[in-house]
Amino acid sequence: MTGDSKSDSIYARSRELADDAAPLSGPLSGVKICVIGAGFVGCVTAAGFAKFGHEVVCVEKDPEKLAMLRKGRLPFFERDLEELIRSNVKSERLTFASDLDQSLEGQKAVFIAVGTPPDKSGRADLGAINEIVTRLARELEPGQVIVIRSTVPIGTARKLKDILKQNGRENGEIAVISNPEFLREGTAVYDFFHPHRVVIGGDSAEAIETVRHIYRMGAVTPAPTIVTTNETAEMIKYASNAFLATKIGFINEVAMLCDSVGIDVLEVARAMGLDTRIGPEFLNPGPGWGGSCLPKDLQEFLGLGQSRSIPLVILNAVRQANENQHEFVVSKVKSLTENIDEKRIGILGLSFKAETSDLRDSPAVAIARILVNEGFVVKAFDPAAAEDAKRILKDVDIVNSSYDALGNTDCALILTEWSEFQLLDWKKAGEIMRHKNIVDARNLLTPEQMRRYGFNYQSIGQA
């Protein structure tokens, strides 16, 4: 561990404390927690901590969102979350508030879970976090702990400690802990209660112990806890997401090769995944990775490399390969429809992955735009993202069902792995299409069965 002997001793002691076999000091009792930001991460974190038995207030400044949440309703789609919120609001362990200053009294820890969207240069915009910490500098009592839950660039915690100092708080009077989340959209509630690890970064043994206690309260089987520095915790988050993007990009390129030599990539991926050094997860080929995290986090990582003049050759290639994947899917649509004049495409799935309504950096949106720009007439359906899609895909006819999207089209194109596309009556779908072509960019269907229905069937890496 870098740093002076004091910091080493903190981690040594915390490492002992973090030994999951070690019983927590004192009885397990709930504490008061404030979570700032009622977005996807903030809501899951607040409701999850309430379920653990803590008393949580979640602060949200948007009045419309706040009104919905107080009624136990979610302003976005996330499986199991609405029920988790409703049950904890009912048990009065979870409340929602608009006024930050009024929500800090007696709080053991204040978790910041606000957005850090990319700015024009692609780097993370920390405006919201900086403004909140400046306010907390004025309001918090000594000993209260600030916990950064948002994904923030390496070195941010140090800058936030400077803000506290600039606002008159003594060194270390208010600890700043880094606690990155590893929640996936669509499975965030499950991921919260079944973490692969809990990462806690900081330089105050007491504050680290506070955060460990918060997590240990409700964990039936405590997850491994990594206690480290703020910067290392921040780096773990970016490195993890950059690796996941790399792994997906890798299997997508293997899929292209399999396609060209007539091998089934899913068989290759299954065999690869049995090697515990590789693992089966994130080896599903598709139209490319998207969402509100992987693209933004990879961009921030690349920006860090650039700012340090470190050539991140692999990671730059990972970003380029992801764009190539969109073109690879489009080339399959073109090859199936090359002899058709006015080409009409029926897209199934627009969200960046199933079980979410999130269109941010969705490969489906990127591919729909390429097809429109290349003169295709495009209809599309998505079970959860249709309304939002109407706002951002003006040249695409967003319809209300899979069959509406496929009617009178020359090629079906599956871009999101919603299970309802698997359960569709594809025999009937073929009968209402003008030509029975399909590009299954999520390898959702069975090639033999689709060919029995008379489809020219193409997928990603199954030839």
**Residues annotated catalytic, as ranges:** 293
Q: Looking at 284, 306, 422, 446, which residue binds ligand UDX (CB under 6 A)?
A: 284
Stretch near ligand UDX under the rule CB under 6 A, chosen from 64-72, 82-90, 109-117, 290-298: 290-298
Q: Do 345 and 377 form a contact (C-beta atoms < 8 A)?
A: yes
β-strand pairing of 411-414 with 397-398: unpaired
Shortest approach of ligand UDX to residue 445 CB, angstroms? 17
Stretch near ligand UDX under the rule CB under 6 A, chosen from 107-115, 138-146, 241-249, 303-311: 241-249
User: In terms of CB distance, is 10 or 245 closer to ligand UDX?
Assistant: 245
Q: CB pairs under 8 A, 24+ apart, for 161-170? A: 163/130, 163/133, 163/134, 163/137, 164/133, 164/136, 164/137, 166/137, 167/134, 167/137, 167/138, 168/137, 169/137, 169/140, 170/142
Q: Looking at 51, 326, 353, 435, which residue binds ligand UDX (CB under 6 A)?
A: 353
User: In terms of CB distance, is 208 or 248 closer to ligand UDX?
Assistant: 248
Residue 382 in the binding site for ligand UDX (CB under 6 A):
no
Shortest approach of ligand UDX to residue 444 CB, angstroms? 12
Residue 352 in the binding site for ligand UDX (CB under 6 A):
yes
- Rounded to whole angstroms, the Cα distance separating 404 from 52 reads 45
Residue 291 in the binding site for ligand UDX (CB under 6 A):
yes
What is the x/- site pattern for ligand UDX, positions 182-211, by CB under 6 A? xxxx--------------------------
**Minimal CB distance residue for ligand UDX:** 293
User: In terms of CB distance, is 103 or 458 closer to ligand UDX?
Assistant: 458
Shortest approach of ligand UDX to residue 251 CB, angstroms? 7
User: In terms of CB distance, is 382 or 410 closer to ligand UDX?
Assistant: 382
Q: Looking at 37, 201, 249, 290, which residue binds ligand UDX (CB under 6 A)?
A: 290
Shortest approach of ligand UDX to residue 399 CB, angstroms? 22
Q: Looking at 124, 242, 248, 371, which residue binds ligand UDX (CB under 6 A)?
A: 248
User: In terms of CB distance, is 269 or 371 closer to ligand UDX?
Assistant: 269
Q: 3-state secondary structure string, the chain?
A: CCCCHHHHHHHHHHHHHHCCCCCCCCCCCCCEEEEECCCHHHHHHHHHHHHHCCEEEEECCCHHHHHHHHCCCCCCCCCCHHHHHHHHHHCCCEEEECCCHHHCCCCCEEEECCCCCECCCCCECCHHHHHHHHHHHHHCCCCCEEEECCCCCCCHHHHHHHHHHHCCCCCCCCEEEECCCCCCCCCHHHHHHCCCCEEEECCCHHHHHHHHHHHHHHCCCCCCEEEECHHHHHHHHHHHHHHHHHHHHHHHHHHHHHHHHCCCHHHHHHHHHCCCCCCCCCCCCCCCCCCCCHHHHHHHHHHHHHHCCCCCHHHHHHHHHHHHHHHHHHHHHHHHHCCCCCCEEEEECCCCCCCCCCCCCCHHHHHHHHHHHCCCEEEEECCCCHHHHHHHCCCCEECCCHHHHHCCCCEEEECCCCHHHHCCCHHHHHHHCCCCEEEECCCCCCHHHHHHCCCEEEECCCC
Q: Looking at 44, 293, 318, 366, which residue binds ligand UDX (CB under 6 A)?
A: 293
Q: Looking at 282, 316, 369, 434, which residue binds ligand UDX (CB under 6 A)?
A: 282
Residue 294 in the binding site for ligand UDX (CB under 6 A):
yes
Q: Looking at 241, 357, 402, 458, which residue binds ligand UDX (CB under 6 A)?
A: 241
Shortest approach of ligand UDX to residue 352 CB, angstroms? 4
User: In terms of CB distance, is 172 or 280 closer to ligand UDX?
Assistant: 280
Shortest approach of ligand UDX to residue 140 CB, angstroms? 27
Q: Looking at 115, 286, 346, 430, which residue binds ligand UDX (CB under 6 A)?
A: 286
Shortest approach of ligand UDX to residue 235 CB, angstroms? 15
Site for ligand UDX in 304-323 (CB under 6 A): none
Shortest approach of ligand UDX to residue 148 CB, angstroms? 14
Residues of this chain that bind ligand UDX (CB under 6 A): 181-185, 241, 244, 248, 282-284, 286, 289-291, 293-294, 352-353
